[in-house]
Amino acid sequence: MADALKIGIAGLGTVGSSLVRILGERANELARTCGRPITITAVSARDKSRDRGVDLSAIQWFDSAVDMANSADIDVFVELMGGAEGAADQSVRAALSRGLHVVTANKALLARCGVELAVMAEDKGALLNYEAAVAGGIPVIKALRESLTGNTVSRVYGIMNGTCNYILTRMEKEGLSFEACLKEAQRLGYAEADPTFDIEGNDTAHKLAILTTLAFGTQIAADEIYLEGISNISIEDIQAAADLGYRIKLLGVALRTDTGIEQRVHPTMVPHDSVIAQVDGVTNAVAIESDILGELLMVGPGAGGNATASAVLGDIADIAKSRPGAQRVPVLGNPAASLAPYTRAQMQSHEGGYFIRLTVLDRAGVFADVATRMADNGISLESIVQRAKGSEADSGSKTIILVTHATTEQSIRKAVDAIKSGTYLAGEPQVIRIERPKAF
């Protein structure tokens, strides 16, 4: 049997501790499958005294991840600290400069400087694996980076934030408000005390930026993403969507257009009978549409210590199965030096269907005016529904719901502006984009 693969783990939170435990418990199976033992020779974390439920006594301890990356006797540096800058960034760079392989779960770091790190890795013939950085345990990086080699991807989209999907699912199933479901998610540990990063879509955006690069062979452009969170979604939207045969999900979507790459994260209506519409709770799902394979959808746990540790373990095993300097998987699917510049498609030219919900005063002529504004902007309608519920009828207002056929963002904005210039709106219009899976 070949020499052991020596691992150093930086960061001993939930994922790091799970990984240490699993590498111990499964040592024999892993050695058999990989053809060599996998041994943890070094770890680093802030607080040595904390009890993590795993025995670290035989492993060299570093207080500093950078020191470990610079000096530990390891083949693979596993970065599980998180954070786009600071120690995570410095230690990964230090490891790559030594030619060590790196495994990381750090989406923020990759979204910020993944191309730079990929260039470093490829220059040194080192592997940089990051399956856990996107959609936790779902092997979407491997699918895009390896399985789809040779395919031209046209669209990639998915539910990549469990917190948002949990909240939207509970709102729909139980008719509760966004605020109530957020509190429940916090109580259950599915949402942070400050949930902004999740519910405003930033977390999804980091993941999407990585998928975009893999799918389209362009530079990473995490700052070029149109962003809209779910805090504005009301139970009325969800119910109206359900009535029309749709469900609302927070999707990250990237697609190739004639004018560039469109990247957006926003609440999205998907047809109720599509497979992705059934993905509930904290579960994640990623769909990839490509020209040779067709459509592929992967569903699984997007977070959690074990699921994430499983993805990290798969990355480590891939390195263990290769022999030194032998495997050359381009970090970002294409060689980092050959990635094309990122050209952002104009959001105004986004084409698709739209759902629009208007709260209007109960006056004659309003319905006709709304329909006219749509027609003026060349927007054709799939359906237009007017209704008044109990409380609305009392207050003298009613709801108009429109679903449009494919049109452009620009046309919708013009039409909505025209509607807003009227005098009959009793609240801010709600506009939700519709996304249709191609095959299922």
Hey, which residues are catalytic here?
207
The SS3 call for residue 287 is strand
Residue 218 and residue 338: Cα distance in Å, rounded? 9
Work out how close the CB of 257 gets to a second copy at its nearest, in angstroms, rounded to a whole number.
Answer: 20
Q: How far is the CB of 335 from a second copy (least distance, A)?
A: 6
Please identify, using beta-carbon distances, which residue of 289 and 409 lies nearer to a second copy: 289
Q: Is 181 in the site for a second copy (CB under 8 A)?
A: no
Report residue 187 as tokens: 């109580």
The whole-angstrom separation of Cα 307 and Cα 291 is: 30
Q: Per rule CB under 8 A, is residue 115 in the interface with a second copy?
A: no
By the rule CB under 8 A, 439 interacts with a second copy:
yes
* Residue 245, phi-psi category: left (phi > 0), alpha (psi -120 to 50), beta (remainder): left
**Is-contact 305 18, C-beta < 8 A?**
yes
If the CB atoms of residues 304 and 422 are measured against a second copy, the closer one turns out to be: 304
Q: What is the nearest approach in angstroms of a second copy to the Cβ of residue 33?
A: 6
Among 41-49, 309-317, 353-361, 366-374, the segment contacting a second copy (CB under 8 A): 309-317
Interface pick for a second copy out of 48, 323, 363, 436 (rule CB under 8 A)? 323
* Interior/surface letters 201-223, b for 16+ CB within 10 angstroms, e for the rest: bbbbbbbbbbbbbbbbbbbbbbe
CB of 369 to a second copy, least distance (A): 39
Name which position in 35, 175, 245, 365 contacts a second copy (CB under 8 A). 35
- Six token digits for residue 231: 């805090």
CB of 222 to a second copy, least distance (A): 23
CB atoms inside a 10 Å sphere around CB 63: 11
Q: Which residues pair with 144 in a beta bridge?
A: none
Count other C-beta atoms under 10 Å from residue 346's C-beta: 13
Contacting residue, 191, 309, 374, 431, with a second copy by CB under 8 A: 309
Please identify which residue in 53, 150, 189, 390 interacts with a second copy, judged by CB under 8 A.
150
Radius of gyration (C-alpha) of the chain in whole angstroms: 24
* Separation CA 436–CA 382 (nearest Å): 14
CA–CA gap between residue 342 and residue 321 (Å, rounded): 34
Q: Residue 349 interacts with a second copy (CB under 8 A)?
A: no
CB of 319 within 8 A of CB of 129? yes
| Beta bridge pairs of residue 251 | 266
Binding mask 238-277 for a second copy (x = CB under 8 A): -----------------------------------xxx-x
Q: Smallest gap, in angstroms, from Cβ of residue 114 to a second copy?
A: 17
278 forms part of the interface with a second copy (CB under 8 A)? yes
Q: How many residues bind a second copy (CB under 8 A)?
A: 65
* Residue ranges binding a second copy (CB under 8 A): 22, 26, 29-30, 32-35, 131, 137-139, 142-143, 146-151, 273-275, 277-281, 283, 290, 292-301, 304, 306-307, 309-311, 313-314, 317-318, 321-323, 325-330, 333-335, 338, 439-440
